[in-house]
């Protein structure tokens, strides 16, 4: 994958800090004390197998799901149900890019992008239109402003969802499985888009995904969610070199599969076949 020049190095200032986040649904403890640090201006990717709670964790960060325990601090202030001012400020400064894009089929591209400004700000209509047209232009969608989402390709829909996310000029953007259901070429394009516009607009980004090579290419930091906790946090180079069993199993699963298939083709018995 060819990625645009990397985003400016994170300043090192802690922008988002998560400690001990826990969430249970009935008897299922999805998150069992999750920690995460996100420096300002960085791209941080949370990896993990399907069903490990990555999207639940991101929804806890966004306030869509209320955690049972733990603390989230944004720009030095705690976010909790008793701090309405901090929570409102967080919502104003943060955008969430849904896995499904969450575009409204009955609204045009321009109307979709305008929606968060219309619903959450007092910006005059003329300025809303100008800002939306500029967001569409920056993501090369201005010629499609009067087109409905169903008439756009999958990649264009992703760009439209990002235009809607950035039109409020957020400082933090949360990406929930941004490449879910896409083929490899479109998957690469989405990660390139994230890298390009994160650099252009300077927002801090937190992604959840299971696409390891692409995440290593675009991220400043990598975290691995496993069994309800963060098993690893560090740079992509540290992740690539880690000897941790959980990291190795997730990171090198493709190599393990190739070795297994080669053994099958050689007629060798697999470990499971030796069991009584």
Backbone φ and ψ for 106, nearest 5 degrees, come out as: -85, -5
- Flag whether pLDDT at 145 surpasses 60: yes
276 pLDDT higher than 80? no
- Under DSSP, is residue 104 helix (H, G, I), strand (E, B) or coil? coil
b/e per residue 28-50 (b: at least 16 CB within 10 A): eebbeebebbbbbbbbbbbbbbe
Q: What is the pLDDT of residue 25?
A: 94
- pLDDT tens per residue across span 85-120: 878 888 889 999 887 888 999 999 999 999 999 988
Q: What is the mean pLDDT of the chain?
A: 85
Counting every residue, how long is the chain? 276
How many CA atoms are closer than 13 Å to the CA of 141, on its beta-carbon side? 30
Contacting residues for 180 by C-beta, under 8 A, at least 6 apart: 99, 100
Per residue in 202-250, pLDDT (tens digit) is 999 999 998 888 889 999 999 999 999 999 999 999 999 999 988 988 8
Which position has the higher pLDDT, 210 or 25?
25
Contact partners, residue 212, CB within 8 Å, separation at least 6:
47, 250, 251
**Per-residue model confidence (pLDDT) at position 270:** 59
């Amino acid at each position: 994958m060819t990625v645009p020049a990397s985003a400016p190095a994170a300043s090192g200032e802690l922008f988002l800090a998560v400690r001990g986040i826990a969430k249970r649904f009935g008897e299922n403890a999805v998150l069992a004390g999750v920690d995460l640090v996100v420096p300002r201006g960085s791209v941080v990717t949370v990896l993990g197998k399907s069903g490990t709670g990555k999207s639940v964790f991101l929804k806890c960060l966004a306030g869509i799901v209320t955690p049972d325990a733990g603390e989230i601090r944004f720009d030095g202030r705690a976010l909790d149900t008793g701090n309405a001012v901090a929570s409102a400020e967080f919502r104003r400064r943060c955008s969430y890019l849904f896995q499904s894009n969450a575009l409204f089929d009955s609204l045009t591209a321009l109307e979709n992008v305008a929606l968060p400004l219309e619903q959450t700000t007092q910006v005059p209509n003329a300025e809303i239109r100008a800002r939306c047209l500029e967001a569409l232009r920056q993501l090369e969608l201005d010629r499609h402003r009067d087109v409905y989402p169903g008439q756009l390709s999958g990649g264009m829909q992703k760009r439209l969802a990002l235009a809607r996310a950035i039109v409020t000029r957020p400082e933090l953007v949360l990406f929930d499985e941004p490449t879910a259901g896409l083929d490899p070429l479109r998957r690469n394009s989405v990660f390139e888009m994230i890298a390009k516009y994160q650099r252009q607009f300077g927002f801090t980004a937190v992604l959840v995904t299971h696409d390891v090579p692409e995440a290593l290419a675009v991220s400043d930091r990598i975290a691995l969610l496993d069994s309800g906790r963060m098993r690893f946090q560090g740079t992509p180079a540290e992740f690539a070199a880690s000897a941790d069993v959980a990291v190795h199993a997730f990171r090198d699963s493709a190599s393990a599969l190739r070795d297994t298939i080669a053994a099958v083709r050689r007629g060798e018995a697999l470990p499971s076949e030796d069991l009584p």
